[in-house]
Amino acid sequence: MSEYLQDREKQIVTKGKDAHDVEGGKPSLSGSVSQRACVFCGSRVVLYPIADAVHLVHGPIGCASYTWDIRGALSSGPELHRSSFSTDLREKHVVFGGETQLYQSLVELIDKYQPKAAFVYSTCIVGVIGDDVQSVCKRVAEEKSIPVIPVMSEGFQGSKKDGYKIACDALAALIGTDESLDVSSMSINILGDFNLAGELWILEEYYKKMDIQILAPITGDGRVKNIQNAHRAALNVVQCSGSMMHLAKYMKETYGIPFIKVSYFGIEDMSDALYEVAKFFKNEVVMDKARELVKDQLKNLLPALEPYKTALTGKKAAIYVGGAFKAISLVKALRLIGVKPVIVGTQTGNTDDYRLLKTICDDGCILVDDSNPIELSEFVKQTGADLFIGGVKERPIAYKLGIGFCDHNHERKMALAGYEGMLNFAKEVYETVSSPVWQFVHRTSSEKN
């Protein structure tokens, strides 16, 4: 391990070999090629799917350009979130201030698109040049009579995870500002699903069969009005706990809404997500419906998974994703199809997350926090992984080393949540691992034949 960056030893653990815990939550070292992004990125991805709001990035063009239509977060109605708005700051704004540019941009966009709300994202230099973003937002909100919410997401203020929290604060500013929607006694908010490839709609189908109302999806297929009414739901169901726990806790404290943590990836976690909701409402009819739904789904799904399991048993996978909750679900989902995780890493996991991951992984599995291409490629060679599950930034690592890849990040176009998602996942893993193209790649790992 001599080639790894010094000071990173505490963030790398091999189960069965190292006694210490993986230390999560440390800032990335200078000069590292971290796979992490910035505060702005964290805020932007969380709020991005709100489809009837203007999302205005206050800063030079890059931050807006790189996040244009970046997530496959679908909307059943308006698609304002798929446009990239920026104040496109120039040198003159840096010197003389960008408040006028921000004010005029907001007025122009609100007049043109008639959004239900506007989010204004501060980028690095806005924090430095001292624009009073909050008062500009306040002024425009009064003039235009819509919520205009400052998202103080200057990139240098921390990591992506800090950006999640700032996004939650922005959502908190909206919540509780409207009471006009009809709310059933069995209503939930879905926190932390972003409707990638229509995943929220899959969940909606399930909950509908259980007579549960989804009051506000936050933020997948999100609408300002639903979010404004979110304080009236009976329960918050939180996925992707890394990004939305802050909001769930806030809503519990402020509005007394309890929350449960769930995941929709893999059979086990998906079913638990339905049972836990049924259990919460203490309603036998709902519980029976949940059981029936699960039974119904598994009747088709389990036989359909069988051929994939047969073909994939014994294969080894590397996982490197943003949040730890997703990593945990992936470990379980891979087991279902016979695939053994040999590397599990995340950008934003904390020490407790890694402790849990350690208990569910096998001996020899490498656990890593805030990794980089050099480490990840070393680990792949060491462990002889056949497959990498990650995002676009990890893809070249897998492909250059000649192993399969499965995109489990926000750019994917295939639903991976729910029972359908589990089958899609198995299919995608199988398609990449079993491709005949790998025969042309020389593989030198000693664990290969």
Q: Which residues inside 141-170 make contact with other proteins, applying CB under 8 A?
A: 155-159
Nearer CB in complex with other proteins: 23/88:
88
| Positions 91 through 150 that interact with other proteins (CB under 8 A) | 91-95, 101, 104-106, 108-109, 123-125, 127-129
Please state, in angstroms and rounded to a whole number, the distance separating the CA atoms of residues 219 and 410: 13
User: Measured from the CB atom, is 33 or 285 closer to other proteins?
Assistant: 33
Of 13 and 124, nearer to other proteins (C-beta) is 124
Nearer to other proteins, 30 or 359 (CB): 30
Token pair of 19 as six digits: 């006694």
Tokens linked to 128? 């430095």
Number of neighbouring beta carbons within 10 Å of residue 21:
14
- What is the SS3 assignment for the chain? CCCCCCCCHHHEEECCCCCCCCCCCCCCCCCCCCCCCCHHHHHHHHHCCECCEEEEEECCHHHHHCCCCCCCECCCCCCHHHCCEECCCCHHHHHHCCHHHHHHHHHHHHHHHCCCEEEEEECHHHHHHCCCHHHHHHHHHHHHCCCEEEECCCHHHCCHHHHHHHHHHHHHHHCCCCCCCCCCCCEEEEEEECCECCHHHHHHHHHHHCCCEEEEEEECCECHHHHHCHHHCCEEEECCHHHHHHHHHHHHHHHCCCEEECCCCCHHHHHHHHHHHHHHCCCHHHHHHHHHHHHHHHHHHHHHHHHHHHHHCCCEEEEEECCHHHHHHHHHHHHHCCCEEEEEEECCCCHHHHHHHHHHCCCCCEEEECCCHHHHHHHHHHHCCCEEEECCCCHHHHHHHCCEEEECCCCCCCCCCHHHHHHHHHHHHHHHHCCHHHHHCCCCCCCCC
| Number of chain positions touching other proteins (CB under 8 A) | 80
State in angstroms the smallest separation of the CB of 275 from other proteins.
37
- In the list 61, 181, 287, 304, the residue contacting other proteins (rule: CB under 8 A) is 61
- Of 170-229, binders to other proteins (CB under 8 A) are none
**Shortest CB 446 distance to other proteins, Å:** 13
Asked whether the beta carbons of 350 and 21 are under 8 A apart, the reply is no
**Selected binder of other proteins within 295, 396, 435, 447 (CB under 8 A):** 396
When binding is defined by CB under 8 A, the residue of 85, 264, 325, 405 that contacts other proteins is: 85
User: Which C-beta is closer to other proteins: that of 130 or that of 258?
Assistant: 130
Interface stretch with other proteins, choices 57-65, 203-211, 251-259, 327-335 (CB under 8 A): 57-65
Residues in region 308-347 near other proteins by CB under 8 A: none
Q: Name the residue nearer to other proteins (CB basis): 196 or 286.
A: 196
- 86 is a contact residue toward other proteins (CB under 8 A): yes
Q: Site residues for other proteins, window 397-436 (CB under 8 A)?
A: 397, 399-402
Nearest approach, Cβ of residue 51 and other proteins (Å):
16
Q: How far is the CB of 428 from other proteins (least distance, A)?
A: 17
CB of 330 to other proteins, least distance (A): 21
Shortest reach from residue 339's CB to other proteins, in Å: 22
**Smallest distance from other proteins to CB 216, Å:** 28
Name which position in 12, 22, 24, 35 contacts other proteins (CB under 8 A). Answer: 35
Binding segment for other proteins among 53-61, 170-178, 217-225, 285-293 (CB under 8 A)? 53-61
| Footprint on residues 10-29 left by other proteins (CB under 8 A) | 27-29
Is the CB of 270 or the CB of 401 nearer to other proteins? 401
Residues in region 278-307 near other proteins by CB under 8 A:
none
Q: Which of residues 362-381 bind other proteins (CB under 8 A)?
A: 373-374, 377-378, 380-381
